[in-house]
């Protein structure tokens, strides 16, 4: 179908304009600011300072090390997990469906603070062990960060490996076995190498997430210098002044992430094997002791993932005084406090998240339609623009938006709009990808049939294309709700008076040591995230994590 | 119901020309087939008539109206697709009523019309199912009903039976024809299956690399192919190199085939030149030298291959080292098959065509 | 189908109601923006008490360290985002007076003169006592220090936390006091042992969590942990004298809601609010008519040894002091 100027050409132009305004332009502004000298002219001051300051270099080194460490541990958990789940049938297997909920839907702020309740210096496990003479090392620092990040990010590797294994053609294994290799050898020599690129792709995604991570790093980081924290601190310290270091550090972060993504695209994705007819071997019912071992492993991981959450809910209903939680004494005081003082953050969170989710999903559906179905040079440009935010962590994104819209012709700081825009841009690549994958499965003939029956192209989009995409769109909508409600790294940079959200409130409470009160807020946040999702999933029958 | 006129339509995709100056006329209410191998341009032509493609030059007319630049959704066409293109999220009822609802027909009429059409295609009991729950044949019938119910000027069908299995295909042909005759809608049908084309069409246009090779009734095309391409595409044909000797009376010529003189119909050749003799395997008779005025049109050869197919037997008869002729005999006419190695006299009928090489 | 429509309709209805409510809320009562460097517990205690005095008042907060918020106020001079700032150390406030608005509060006569800023540009609300917070478990075999000088001992290298004086008015005044008492050499010895944290919260939590053995922090912050029965935590009032760090409330110049801002300002100086804050968070009030020891288990001010510090000088010498500190830190690293 030849694209006419109206309406699709116009819409493509509009989408590109929005993207340029809110994504490209801020990033360029940020890049420009990193080359500012003290007097305001062009200069490499920022970079000179970066390389001269040993703490910055240490931060860079630590960030890379942390990335490698977490990626490794997450892979070591995620991959075997996926193998066990795909190939075997054992009791309690159904529980694994819950896992992504624990890690992806629950905000990182909450996960951190829940772990602190358990293993922090006043955590109940720590105290219990202290009582019997075992002194656990401090949870802050490398230990805590690696543990919590692993337990959050392993899900990405697990889901990615799962999808790859599900598409794996079982006949390849049968061929290997018929040629004389044992099942075990087959797994290592045939299955693993083929699935490896898919694993690597996800591992690299995890690496970039670790590099850009804010919540876990700042809460549990202790005094480990990290790139994301240094960037945030630079932002805070430079407020009102020359935004050089924050921009320089942001640029370093972007380059690091872009380098990894580049390697991923060129080296790894090329090796992704396309299975022509992937019929995965059926799950094998395992023998009793093996079944119990697997069930035990799954149960262990599920418990580890959910335990902190449960702890948090208990703490929310427990009496707390200042920084101490008085385990065992029930109290509603925390929740009363939340309802008395927390009304504004609650309303703000709900308002920004719902606006961003609705607008973001609509934009994503439109943009993906233009990219997939109305191909043109312009829509290709839109495709690349839309993917840009992937290279940028929440903190850097927030900084770029603040720098751009703090002055000049368009001032957005201080308005709700900047919060909504921040959320939308942050999640844009993800939602466009979801919508696009749905569209690839919609044959052109469906639209043509509708048009031939007398329904104009624009109306056809709404009456035929959107309904067929609805499953993917609903799933993306739900996930976007969860992630925008729990967003912290960009919010904390962008917000100002009256725009405080729940995660920011929780972050402040944790920073003040008020773990009990933070738990009360946390309980409210999790409820506000999960209940609408639960309702929507039930009513609209959405399959949340269906592997495509 | 409308006549369709294609006037000098050309279309190129990038540097590759796909349609070259196509001219066609489709009579009102007829069943017109576009036939040809993949890549010949038949689907492109259909989509141009539908409006999904704009021709580079030329016009498309429905009756007297030039619709070349009218957008698809205003051309009042009905279209049936190879993959059925039923809306997966809607029931059969919703699918079939889709076009009517778009035209603003009020609810009760819609209800009645849909029930009627569903019954007509035998899907009355499946109205509330979704396409995923239907078989291929049922889906095709639903797609048909959806296109017919809006009473379009023109019905366009793009290889609708290609995805069905053989037996179903045959039954569906009947269904489609019945519906078309009842509704009298001008229909253009695209296929690569010549049996389908022959059995269903009022007129067929055979296409060859962007041009129309021949237009005519099935009988025209089969019995009187205009050239070697058509002869070869429809049914089987022997295409044999001959030398044109001289003109004869009544539009005939005398040609020489491996030393044998044959009297044939002149398909536009010059005496003294080369030509291609086109004769269908089943038109070649064996027998004694009866019949014929003047030349006897007899060619002697030896049976080198025999394939028994029950209702008919296929033979390869070798005339000389370079010339083998295919012969087809139906059991009804020739109850006694020939033996391998048997020497036979083949009689080539005098109405066989010789065309320019 | 009905189910879904009902769900969507009710969600839309709730959203609309929520958005409408917000705008209604703003019309009916007053609104003001508070910039505060105090932790959530303190703020919420104060705001609860204030809520009883000024019902229906909507107070939006922006939080951050004193230094950070001062920079923000400076950056926003042309278009102030806040109305009131609470609370900043006198030493820090002095450098930013040109962004403050004068306000002669009716409550001011209850505040001692030494705790009032020049020209009514700020008024003290709390007095902090800067001392040493100790975590005995972390100290291990080393005996806890009794004096500031003990803190200079190399055995404490890397085990003492203090918030960056550029960000915190508390530690700024402490650095000022120590500089005056022990000179640049003393400062350097101290700097050699310190781990500088970004926020007061991090210092206090760090000691309580056992990351550090000692922390230079305020009495109120440290006492919270003791009051909460945190094992091993103790307060050390250095023998040479603790450092007094008074804090004050400020009316921001050009505030968008000056009427209400003034009411809020006065509320911070009122008896009920200051008593509530003392009882909940152990922060000593500025008012002279409140007897601390009868309300909480802390010693009376008269019983504590204090270093002699000129608050106004601390304020005017800020740049010099901070650069001396920077040198001390730099030298200590070598």
Evaluate whether B100 touches B149 at the Cβ level (below 8 Å): yes
Query: What residues contact B127, with CB distance under 8 A and at least 6 apart?
Result: B91, B92, B93, B114, B115, B118
Is the residue at C10 inside a domain? no
Contacts of B13 in chain A (CB under 8 A): none
Shared domain for A394 and A343, answered yes or no, is yes
How high is the pLDDT of residue A298? 79
- Is the confidence at residue A6, as pLDDT, over 70? no
Number of domains in chain C: 2
Look at A122 and C208 and tell me if their CB atoms are within 8 Å: yes
Evaluate whether A51 touches A60 at the Cβ level (below 8 Å): no
Q: What is the mean pLDDT of chain C?
A: 84
Look at B79 and A446 and tell me if their CB atoms are within 8 Å: no
Phi, psi of B214 (to 5 degrees): -165, 145
What residue in C sits closest to A325 (Cα-Cα)?
A: C228
Shared domain for C112 and C140, answered yes or no, is no
Q: Which of A53-67, C10-24, C106-120, C214-228 has the lowest mean pLDDT?
A: C10-24
Report helix, strand or coil for B260.
strand
Is the residue at C7 inside a domain? no
Q: Which of A1-10, A461-470, B137-146, B348-357 has the lowest mean pLDDT?
A: A1-10
> Could you confirm whether domain B236-356 is CATH 2.40.50.100?
yes
Shared domain for A28 and A40, answered yes or no, is no
**Using CA atoms, how far apart are residues A479 and A485, in angstroms rounded to an integer?**
10
Look at C3 and A539 and tell me if their CB atoms are within 8 Å: yes
B341 strand-pairing partners = none
Shared domain for A195 and A249, answered yes or no, is yes
Look at A453 and B89 and tell me if their CB atoms are within 8 Å: no
- Is the confidence at residue C295, as pLDDT, over 80? yes
Place of tokens 């000593």: C284
Number of domains in chain A: 2
Q: Of A443, B312, B177, nearest to B169 (Cα)?
A: B177
Query: What residues contact A336, with CB distance under 8 A and at least 6 apart?
Result: none
Higher-confidence residue: B24 or C309? B24
Is the residue at A375 inside a domain? yes
**Using CA atoms, how far apart are residues A440 and A438, in angstroms rounded to an integer?**
6
Alpha-carbon radius of gyration of chain B: 25
How high is the pLDDT of residue C13? 58
What residues make up the domain containing A405?
Answer: 1-34+317-548
**What is the band of C9 on the pLDDT scale with cuts at 50, 70, 90?**
low
Place of tokens 């601190």: A233
**Using CA atoms, how far apart are residues A352 and A422, in angstroms rounded to an integer?**
10
Contacts of A500 in chain C (CB under 8 A): 60-61
- Is the confidence at residue A90, as pLDDT, over 90? no
Q: Encode pLDDT of A203-241 as tens digits.
A: 888 998 899 999 899 888 877 889 998 888 888 777 767
CATH of the domain at A507: 1.10.3720.10
- Is the confidence at residue A108, as pLDDT, over 70? yes
Look at A514 and C64 and tell me if their CB atoms are within 8 Å: no
- Is the confidence at residue B337, as pLDDT, over 50? yes
**Using CA atoms, how far apart are residues B69 and B54, in angstroms rounded to an integer?**
7
Look at A452 and B50 and tell me if their CB atoms are within 8 Å: yes
User: Alpha carbon A228 to chain centroid distance?
Assistant: 15
**Using CA atoms, how far apart are residues A79 and A68, in angstroms rounded to an integer?**
16
Shared domain for A247 and A141, answered yes or no, is yes
Contacts of C76 in chain A (CB under 8 A): 240
Shared domain for C255 and C123, answered yes or no, is yes
- Reported pTM: 0.77
User: Alpha carbon C18 to chain centroid distance?
Assistant: 35
Q: Of C264, C263, C295, C302, nearest to C280 (Cα)?
A: C295
Look at C44 and A240 and tell me if their CB atoms are within 8 Å: no
Check contact A-C (3+ Cβ pairs < 8 Å).
yes
Shared domain for A271 and A408, answered yes or no, is no
Interface residues from chain B to A (CB-CB < 8 Å): 50, 52-54, 71-74, 76-79, 81-83, 85-90, 98-99, 102-103, 143, 146-147, 150, 156
Please write down the HEC assignment for all residues of A244-301. HHHHHHHHHHHHHHHHHHHHHHHHHHHHCCCCCCCCCCCCEECCHHHHHHHHHHHHHH
Record the tokens describing residue C333, joined without a space. Answer: 């690293």
**Using CA atoms, how far apart are residues A38 and A57, in angstroms rounded to an integer?**
21
Report helix, strand or coil for C211.
coil
Higher-confidence residue: B79 or A202? B79
Shared domain for C109 and C178, answered yes or no, is no
Is the residue at A236 inside a domain? yes
C 180-199 residues inside an 8 A Cβ radius of A: 195, 197-199
Evaluate whether C159 touches C210 at the Cβ level (below 8 Å): no
Shared domain for A125 and A219, answered yes or no, is yes
What residues make up the domain containing C177?
Answer: 129-244+302-333
How high is the pLDDT of residue C12? 60
Query: What residues contact C21, with CB distance under 8 A and at least 6 apart?
Result: none
Check contact B-C (3+ Cβ pairs < 8 Å).
no
When pLDDT is averaged across residues C170-187 and rounded to a whole number, the result is 90
In this complex, how many residue pairs, one in chain A and one in chain B, have their CB atoms less than 8 Å apart? Answer: 69
Shared domain for A17 and A67, answered yes or no, is no
**What is the band of A431 on the pLDDT scale with cuts at 50, 70, 90?**
confident
How high is the pLDDT of residue C17? 52
Q: Of B246, B256, B46, B123, nearest to A445 (Cα)?
A: B46
Q: Where are the beta strands (DSSP E) in B27-152?
A: 31-35, 57-62, 65-66, 77-80
Last residue of a domain, one of A270, A289, A308: A289
Shared domain for C174 and C306, answered yes or no, is yes
**Using CA atoms, how far apart are residues B202 and B187, in angstroms rounded to an integer?**
10
Residue of B83, B90, B99 lying closest to A453 (CB–CB)? B99
The structural domains of chain B, with segments of one domain joined by +, span 4-230, 236-356
Exposure b/e, A283-298, CB count within 10 A at least 16 = b? eeebeeeebeebbebb
Shared domain for C26 and C120, answered yes or no, is yes
Q: Which of A422-431, B9-18, B62-71 has the lowest mean pLDDT?
A: A422-431
CA angle (B205 as vertex; B200, B210 as ends), nearest 5? 140
Q: Encode pLDDT of C72-104 as tens digits.
A: 888 788 888 889 999 888 877 888 889 999 999
Please write down the HEC assignment for all residues of C66-107. HHHHHHHHHHCCCCCCCCEEEEEEHHHHHHHHHHEECCCCCC
Q: Of C260, C248, C251, C161, nearest to C206 (Cα)?
A: C161
How high is the pLDDT of residue B293? 47
Evaluate whether B60 touches B49 at the Cβ level (below 8 Å): yes
**Using CA atoms, how far apart are residues A398 and A423, in angstroms rounded to an integer?**
10
Look at A236 and C22 and tell me if their CB atoms are within 8 Å: no
Record the tokens describing residue C302, joined without a space. Answer: 């008269």
User: How many distinct helices (H) and strands (E) make up chain A?
Assistant: 26, 4
Look at A121 and C209 and tell me if their CB atoms are within 8 Å: yes
Q: What is the mean pLDDT of chain A?
A: 83
Evaluate whether B266 touches B274 at the Cβ level (below 8 Å): no
Is the residue at A94 inside a domain? no
**Using CA atoms, how far apart are residues B317 and B296, in angstroms rounded to an integer?**
18
* CATH homologous superfamily of B4-230: P-loop containing nucleotide triphosphate hydrolases (3.40.50.300)
**Using CA atoms, how far apart are residues C16 and C9, in angstroms rounded to an integer?**
10
- Is the confidence at residue A288, as pLDDT, over 70? yes
How high is the pLDDT of residue A104? 74
- C29 in contact with A, Cβ within 8 Å: no
Shared domain for A52 and A14, answered yes or no, is no
Shared domain for C82 and C41, answered yes or no, is yes
Cβ neighbour number for residue A48 with a 10 Å cutoff: 12
Residue of C11, C60, C71 lying closest to A239 (CB–CB)? C71
Q: Encode pLDDT of C214-263 as tens digits.
A: 999 999 888 888 887 777 899 999 999 999 888 899 999 999 999 999 99
Report helix, strand or coil for B304.
strand
Is the residue at C8 inside a domain? no
Contacts of A456 in chain B (CB under 8 A): 71, 73
Q: Which of A355-364, A494-503, C118-127, C175-184 has the lowest mean pLDDT?
A: A494-503
Look at A239 and C68 and tell me if their CB atoms are within 8 Å: yes
How high is the pLDDT of residue A274? 59
Shared domain for C254 and C208, answered yes or no, is no
- Is the confidence at residue A2, as pLDDT, over 50? no
What residue in A sits closest to B79 (Cα-Cα)?
A: A452
How high is the pLDDT of residue A449? 94
Q: Of B69, B71, B65, B57, nearest to B21 (Cα)?
A: B57
CATH of the domain at C148: 3.40.190.10
Shared domain for C139 and C287, answered yes or no, is no
Shared domain for A408 and A461, answered yes or no, is yes
Shared domain for C149 and C218, answered yes or no, is yes
Record the tokens describing residue C236, joined without a space. Answer: 């050390």
Q: Encode pLDDT of A292-327 as tens digits.
A: 887 888 788 888 888 878 888 888 898 887 777 777
């Amino acid at each position: 179908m030849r694209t006419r100027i109206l309406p699709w050409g116009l819409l493509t132009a509009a989408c590109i304009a929005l993207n340029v305004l809110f994504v490209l332009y801020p990033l360029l502004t940020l890049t420009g600011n990193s080359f500012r000298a003290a007097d305001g002219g062009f200069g490499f001051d920022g970079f000179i300072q970066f390389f001269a300051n040993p703490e910055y270099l240490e931060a860079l080194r630590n960030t890379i090390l942390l990335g490698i460490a977490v990626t490794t541990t997450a892979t070591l958990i995620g991959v075997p997990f996926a193998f066990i789940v795909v190939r075997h049938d054992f009791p309690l297997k159904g529980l694994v469906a819950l896992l992504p909920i624990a890690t992806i839907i629950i905000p990182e702020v909450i996960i951190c603070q829940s772990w602190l309740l358990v293993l922090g210096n006043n955590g109940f496990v720590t105290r219990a062990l202290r009582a019997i003479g075992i002194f656990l090392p401090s949870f802050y620092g490398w230990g805590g960060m690696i543990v919590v990040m692993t337990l959050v990010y392993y899900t990405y590797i697990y889901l990615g490996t799962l999808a790859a294994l599900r598409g794996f053609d079982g006949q390849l294994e049968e061929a290997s076995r018929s040629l004389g290799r044992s099942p075990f050898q087959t797994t290592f020599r045939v299955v693993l190498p083929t699935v490896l690129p898919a694993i690597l792709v996800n591992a690299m995604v995890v690496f970039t997430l670790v590099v850009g991570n804010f919540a876990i790093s700042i809460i549990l980081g202790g005094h480990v210098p990290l790139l994301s924290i240094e960037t945030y601190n630079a932002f805070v310290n430079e407020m009102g002044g020359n935004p050089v270091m924050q921009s320089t550090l942001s640029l370093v972060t972007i380059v690091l992430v872009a380098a990894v993504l580049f390697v991923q695209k060129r080296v790894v994705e090329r090796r992704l094997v396309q299975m022509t007819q992937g019929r995965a071997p059926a799950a094998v019912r395992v023998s009793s002791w093996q079944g119990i071992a697997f069930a035990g492993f799954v149960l262990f991981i599920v418990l580890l993932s959910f335990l902190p959450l449960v702890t948090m809910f208990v703490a929310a209903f427990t009496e707390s005084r200042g920084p101490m939680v008085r385990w065992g004494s029930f109290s509603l005081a925390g929740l009363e406090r939340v309802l008395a003082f927390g009304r504004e953050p609650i309303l703000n969170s709900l308002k920004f998240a719902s606006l961003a989710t609705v607008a973001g999903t609509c934009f994503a559906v439109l943009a993906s339609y233009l990219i997939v179905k109305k191909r043109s040079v312009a829509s290709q440009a839109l495709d690349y623009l839309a993917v840009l935010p992937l290279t940028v962590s929440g903190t850097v994104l927030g900084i770029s938006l603040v720098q751009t819209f703090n002055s000049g012709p368009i001032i957005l700081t201080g308005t709700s709009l900047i919060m909504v825009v921040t959320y939308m841009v942050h999640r844009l690549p993800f939602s466009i990808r979801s919508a696009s994958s749905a569209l690839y499965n919609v044959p052109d003939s469906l639209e043509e049939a509708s048009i031939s029956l007398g329904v104009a192209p624009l109306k056809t989009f709404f009456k035929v294309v959107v309904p067929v995409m609805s499953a993917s769109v609903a799933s993306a909508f739900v996930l976007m709700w969860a992630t925008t409600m729990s967003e912290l790294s960009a919010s904390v940079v962008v917000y100002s008076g009256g725009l405080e959200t729940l995660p920011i409130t929780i972050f402040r409470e944790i920073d003040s040591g008020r773990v009990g009160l933070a738990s009360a807020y946390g309980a409210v946040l999790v409820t506000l995230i999960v209940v609408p999702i639960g309702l929507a999933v039930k009513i609209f029958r959405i399959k949340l994590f269906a592997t495509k | 119901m409308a006549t369709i006129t294609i006037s000098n339509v050309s279309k190129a995709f990038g540097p590759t020309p796909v349609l070259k100056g196509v001219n066609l006329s489709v009579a009102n209410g007829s069943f017109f087939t576009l036939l040809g191998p993949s890549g010949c341009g038949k689907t492109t032509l259909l989509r141009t008539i539908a409006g999904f493609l704009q021709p580079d030059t030329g016009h498309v007319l429905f009756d007297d109206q030039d619709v070349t630049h009218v957008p698809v959704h205003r051309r009042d066409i009905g279209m049936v697709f190879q993959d059925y293109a039923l809306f997966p999220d809607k029931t059969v009822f919703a699918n079939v009523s889709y076009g009517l609802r778009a035209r603003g027909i009020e609810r009760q009429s819609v209800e009645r019309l849909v029930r009627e059409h569903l019954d007509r295609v035998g899907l009355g009991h499946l109205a509330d199912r979704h396409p995923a729950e239907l078989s291929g044949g049922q889906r095709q019938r639903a797609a048909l009903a959806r296109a017919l119910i809006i009473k379009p000027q023109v019905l366009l069908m793009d290889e609708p039976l290609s995805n069905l299995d053989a037996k179903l295909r045959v039954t569906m042909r009947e269904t489609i024809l019945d519906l078309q005759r009842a509704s009298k809608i001008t229909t253009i049908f695209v296929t690569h299956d010549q049996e389908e084309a022959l059995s269903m069409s009022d007129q067929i246009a055979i296409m060859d690399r962007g041009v129309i090779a021949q237009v005519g009734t099935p009988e025209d095309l089969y019995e009187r192919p205009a050239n070697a391409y058509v002869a070869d595409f429809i049914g089987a044909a022997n295409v044999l190199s001959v030398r044109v000797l001289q003109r004869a009376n009544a539009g005939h010529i005398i040609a020489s085939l491996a030393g044998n003189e044959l009297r044939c119909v002149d398909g536009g050749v010059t005496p003294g030149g080369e030509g291609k003799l086109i004769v269908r395997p089943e038109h070649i008779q064996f027998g004694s030298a009866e019949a014929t005025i003047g030349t006897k049109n007899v060619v002697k050869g030896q049976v080198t291959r025999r394939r028994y197919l029950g209702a008919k037997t296929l033979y390869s008869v070798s005339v000389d080292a370079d010339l083998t002729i295919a012969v087809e005999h139906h059991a009804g006419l020739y109850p006694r098959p020939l033996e391998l190695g048997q020497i036979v006299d083949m009689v080539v009928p005098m109405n066989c065509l010789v065309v320019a090489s | 189908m009905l189910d879904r429509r009902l769900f969507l309709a009710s969600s839309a209805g709730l959203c609309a109601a929520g958005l409408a409510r917000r705008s209604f809320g703003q019309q009916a009562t007053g609104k003001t923006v508070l910039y505060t460097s105090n932790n959530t517990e303190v703020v919420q205690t104060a705001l609860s008490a204030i809520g009883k005095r000024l019902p229906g008042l909507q107070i939006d907060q922006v939080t951050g360290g004193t230094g950070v918020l001062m920079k923000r106020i400076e950056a926003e001079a042309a278009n102030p985002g806040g109305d009131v700032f609470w609370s900043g150390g006198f030493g820090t406030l002095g450098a930013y007076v040109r962004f403050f608005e004068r306000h002669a509060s009716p409550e001011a006569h209850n505040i001692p003169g030494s705790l009032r800023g020049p020209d009514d540009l700020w008024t003290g609300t709390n007095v902090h006592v800067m001392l040493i917070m100790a975590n005995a478990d972390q100290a291990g075999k080393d005996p806890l220090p009794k004096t500031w000088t003990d803190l200079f001992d190399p055995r404490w290298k890397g085990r003492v936390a203090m918030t960056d004086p550029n960000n915190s008015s508390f530690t700024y005044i402490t650095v000022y006091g120590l500089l005056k008492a022990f000179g640049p050499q003393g400062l350097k010895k101290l700097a050699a042992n310190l781990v500088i944290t970004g926020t007061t919260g991090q210092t206090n939590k760090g000691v309580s969590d056992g990351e550090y053995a000692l922390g230079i922090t305020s009495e109120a912050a440290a006492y919270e942990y003791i009051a909460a029965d945190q094992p091993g935590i103790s307060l050390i009032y250095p023998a040479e004298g603790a450092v007094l760090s008074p804090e004050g409330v400020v009316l921001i110049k050009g505030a968008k809601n000056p009427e209400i801002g003034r009411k809020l300002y006065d509320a911070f100086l009122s008896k009920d609010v200051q008593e509530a804050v003392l009882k909940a968070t152990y922060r000593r009030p500025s008012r002279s008519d409140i007897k601390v020891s009868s309300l909480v288990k802390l010693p009376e001010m008269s019983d504590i040894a204090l270093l002699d510090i000129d608050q106004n000088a601390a304020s005017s010498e800020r740049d010099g002091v901070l650069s001396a500190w920077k040198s001390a830190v730099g030298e200590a690293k070598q």
